[in-house]
Chains A and B, each alone.
Chain A
Amino acid sequence: MTPAGAAVAERAGGRSGVPRWLRPAVITAGVLVLVLAPLGFTENTYIQTVLILTLLLVVSSSGWNIISGFAGYVSLGQGAFIGVGAYTVGILSRHTDVSPFVLAPLGGVAAAALAAVLGLVAMRARGHAFVIITIAFLFLMQTLALNLQSITGGSAGITLPLPTWSRDIGELPFYYAMLALAVLSVALAAWIRRSKLGAGLLAIREDEGKATAIGIRTPAYKLIGFVVSAVLIGIAGGIDGYFLTFIDPRGMFDILISVQIVLAALLGGRGTIWGPVLGAFLLQPLSEVVNNYFGTRLGIRLLVFGGLLALVVMLMPAGIIPTIRTAVRRWRERGSVVPFIEQPVRRAKPAAAAPPEEPAVPALAVRVSDREPVAERPPLLEIQGLSKRFGGLTALDGCSFSVREGTITGLIGPNGSGKTTVFNLVTGIVPGAGGQVRFDSRRIDQLRPWERPALGIGRTFQITRLFKQLTVLENVVAPLSHFSLRHLASGGTSGAEAARARELLDLVGLGAFGDRTAGTLSFGQQKLVELAQVLMLEPKLIMLDEPAGGVNPSLIEHLADLIRQLNRDGISFLVVEHNMPLVLQLCDPVVVLAAGRCIAQGPPQAIQRDPEVLGAYLGGDGSATQGLPEGSGAPQGGAPVGRGGPGNPRGVPR
């Protein structure tokens, strides 16, 4: 980036009060204009033509990058939108005398409308279906252009009006129109990358199920992403048609155009702002060279582009820009020891200081919590007769229990007793169960998965599911408690939300790690980030799936303190955990599942001695007299024996 461009953008940004997160887009646009605007003034129309085609590729490739680079949904038919735009303008210009430049935006409208329809089809399924739909779309458009002769002229194509301006200025109007679109495309990509929409699209690419679990309405995101990725390509296609003055089905819907679009973005760097630009400026000249050397021998062109695409996918899948970035970073860090990522010592704030008796407790010592009885508090989460079968396996068999407000309820049981399935059904990640789930007295088992976090339900995963390539801060900001277009356009990591996210990171003790890539954190730290992420939703209930599993013992203590502190602040917890000492000191009451049913429920002391619970864990007949083992981790396996009444949880007498 030139200093001048940056300065201009900086001043513009400062004066007009452009928000910080918008500045990259403004700067990007400024740089492109400054570099490319003078280039059009060449006398050589051949160079002008090559530049125009390059800019067309910049527009198309940047568009592709939004749906396929950001959201990870690969479109193999993106070139079809160029054809759609060109045909829209071509067909309209047969009936009106309006300049094709004026008609070109309608090409964008047509492309956006078609993308929306396709999006409706594609958004119900995952990536494979999207790939197939985009291929089918390209060929369907080509066939329609061939067959609907009365409208499209069939294989004879359409001849557009010739430009009306003086020959002295050559192709300049085309060049500047295309330049404007290219600048707009790149600025749009830069803006989206920093916005909530972009954060959501990246979250979908990294882990779509997790994105849903934190309240991101994924189908809407994908749909909007696809429409946005198509609209500027449609406009550019309209201008391209005017520039070529002749359009026909084979040329406009040539699959090689789509190959070049994919290749340009991949070569430069998929998911980066400048990747498609760099890729286009490398690829279009290469295309010209191949044309000049081998003329019209189609086979060579296909071999070159197909082979190049295969090579990039295999050898440099990240693309040039990310590869260089990594190399530069390595070079800078050469010789230096990679800093050990240490858990920063958390200084408890005075206000939130833990009660005096707590800090001294070693995490692994068994100490039964001795807080107030909880039986009379109103239920927050009620599970009634929940059943779920996976094929022949019954994961849950009429399970009922409730989580009362303000409690830290433990959920234990042998492996395979259905604990994680309860979580998946409450959050809606796994659908189609029998029984009812109520939250805050409202039935939620029919709600879509992304609607549930908004009610105040957050969950973490047994194996953490952070968006590993995003920064820690971006991860924490990602959750969305509501959905609106205005909200989508706002900055992703700025403003009040970012401040709140930093606060939460401080709370979990990871304030220093905000700018690190999430994947570089230790497993225990990732669990803490996941907790902060969930807190962003301001939940009433947090469901923790094995918070201590695989975590460094020193972090477990920290985690337990944190859970107690949040609980004092009014958040209820449902905790699945195998670390029995932790459960016994943290949770009250404790619910025990075995073979998909709730077999016992009550304060930890009672559970510890309950013969049925012991039977379920040890596979004995329930007459064992010893308490639960006090080492870390309970014995696992053993034949689960569920002896509680069906769907009839038995309270343990206190």
Chain B
Amino acid sequence: MKLAQTVLLGLLTGGVYALLASGLTLVFGVMRIINVAQGALLILAALFTFEIWRRTGLDPLLAIVVTTPLMFGIGWLLYRGLLARVRAAPEAMTVLLTFALAIAIEGFMGLIWRNVFRSVTPSYFASSFHVGGLFLPKGLAAGCVTAVVVLGLLYLALTRTWTGRAIRAAAENVQGAQLVGVSVVDVAAVTFAIGIATTGAGGSILSILQPFFPASHYVWISKLLGIIVLGGMGSLPGAVIGALLLGVAENVTSAYVSPRWSLVVFYVVIMVVLLVRPQGIAGSRLREDVAA
């Protein structure tokens, strides 16, 4: 029973992780950028949700309709204002820029919200459903459902709209996409904005699940990197699989070893996967990777 309960909680957590990791893997797939600032933006969105909830009492899961467009706009501005400027530079410079952003955003959050733990606590926050001897925390259940819905909408947007198909085309083959009339710069801006927009919904959901403070973003970027490395960098289905697996692994480690070691699971997964199977579960092996 304990195992069933642990796995259930792991799968629910994994559902949320899938949404959080989707933006990171999407941006990598299209732009070959590891956005180290993804975790910091996630915490920023959670703090926005906190602020909205504190001031208006709006349910954090409804705040998504505010935070998602807000983060989309921030993502678009970051790309147009900063990242687009280093497009021609070596990839290393782009990584360093997102690293710098992560640090600066952490500093910004520290100044505005101070370095204290925050959490959003709506009325259902501490209660649970009970189903056949298993308990389902209401916050986690609602968060997981919301995450799945948002992820589904993202999937529809990527497969059913022209912009979505352009994004996938650019991920597949940049030159080919250009040949059929896709402006790769515009697609990159939209992709980055969508990638950051997922932190809006993700941050709002996160805000009711765990307490957070500015420096939590290191924990989150580590988790997200573990997920997309396991799933295969750039693959959306891979991110979902990786998220579910690691959600379960994290909860099992917490329950059977110690919560203090649960984060180590992610680090170990990163090391082992990159050593044994660098392309992850669902990733494709890049031609440039094989020569090394």
Spell out A's residues near B (CB within 8 Å). Answer: 68, 72-74, 76, 118, 120-129, 131-133, 135-137, 139-140, 143-144, 146-147, 208-209, 212, 218-219, 255-256, 259, 262, 266, 297-310, 313-314, 317, 429-432, 449
Contact = CB atoms under 8 A, between A and B. Distances in A.
Interface stretch (B12-20, B42-50, B99-107, B238-246): B99-107
Nearest to A204: B292
A525 B66 CA distance: 58
Interface string B234-276: 0000000000000000000000000011011011101100110
Nearest to A301: B107
Given A136-B270, A298-B107, A143 B263 contact: yes
Contacts of B292: 123-126, 208, 212, 218-219
B287 interface: yes
B285 to A, nearest CB: 10
B261 A147 contact: yes
Contacts of A68: 92
Given A143-B260, A309-B100, 5 more contacts: A126-B292, A132-B229, A299-B110, A309-B97, A430-B290
B121 interface: no
A208 B286 CA distance: 14
Closest 8 CB pairs of A and B: A302-B107, A306-B104, A299-B110, A306-B103, A303-B107, A309-B100, A299-B111, A310-B100
B1 interface: no
A302 B40 CA distance: 13
Nearest to B284: A391
B274 A121 contact: yes
B110 A302 contact: yes
B55 interface: no
A133 B271 contact: yes
B291 A429 contact: yes
A135 B106 contact: no
Query: What's the interface size class on B, roughly?
Result: 35 or more
B34 A132 contact: yes
B179 to A, nearest CB: 16
A121 B218 CA distance: 22
B107 A300 contact: yes
A309 B103 CA distance: 9
Contacts of A298: 107, 110, 115
Nearest to B32: A128
B45 to A, nearest CB: 18
Given A72-B92, A303-B108, A135 B222 contact: yes
Contacts of A209: 288, 291
Contact of A146 (B93, B102, B104, B260): B260
B157 interface: no
17 contacts: A125-B289, A129-B278, A132-B229, A132-B270, A136-B225, A136-B267, A140-B268, A147-B261, A208-B292, A262-B96, A299-B107, A300-B111, A302-B104, A305-B103, A313-B93, A313-B96, A429-B291
A313 B108 CA distance: 19
* Of listed A209, A299, A303, residue having the most chain B CB within 10 A: A299
Given A128-B34, A136-B270, A208 B291 contact: yes
A129 B101 contact: no
* Of listed A127, A209, A218, A430, residue having the most chain B CB within 10 A: A127
Interface in B218-232: 218-219, 221-222, 225-226, 229
B103 A302 contact: yes
Contact of A140 (B89, B264, B290): B264
Contacts of B102: 306
Contacts of A121: 271, 274-275
B153 interface: no
Contacts of B90: 72
Contacts of B221: 135
B82 A76 contact: no
B95 interface: yes
B147 interface: no
Given A127-B91, A135-B225, A307-B100, A76 B36 contact: yes
Nearest to A208: B292
* Of listed A259, A262, A314, A429, residue having the most chain B CB within 10 A: A314
A44 to B, nearest CB: 30
Nearest to B103: A306
B89 to A, nearest CB: 6
A12 to B, nearest CB: 37
A184 to B, nearest CB: 26
A445 B292 CA distance: 16
B157 to A, nearest CB: 26
Interface in B59-85: 82, 85
A84 to B, nearest CB: 15
A317 B271 CA distance: 30
B96 A309 contact: yes
Contacts of A317: 86, 89, 93
Contacts of B115: 298-299
B233 interface: yes
A306 B101 contact: yes
Contact of B106 (A73, A133, A306): A306
Contacts of A299: 106-111, 115, 214
Contacts of B291: 208-209, 212, 429-431, 449
Contacts of B101: 306, 310
Nearest to B222: A139
Contacts of A430: 287, 290-291
Contacts of A432: 290
A430 B82 CA distance: 36
A129 B108 CA distance: 29
B97 A313 contact: yes
Nearest to A132: B225
A423 to B, nearest CB: 14
A219 B278 CA distance: 15
Nearest to A72: B92
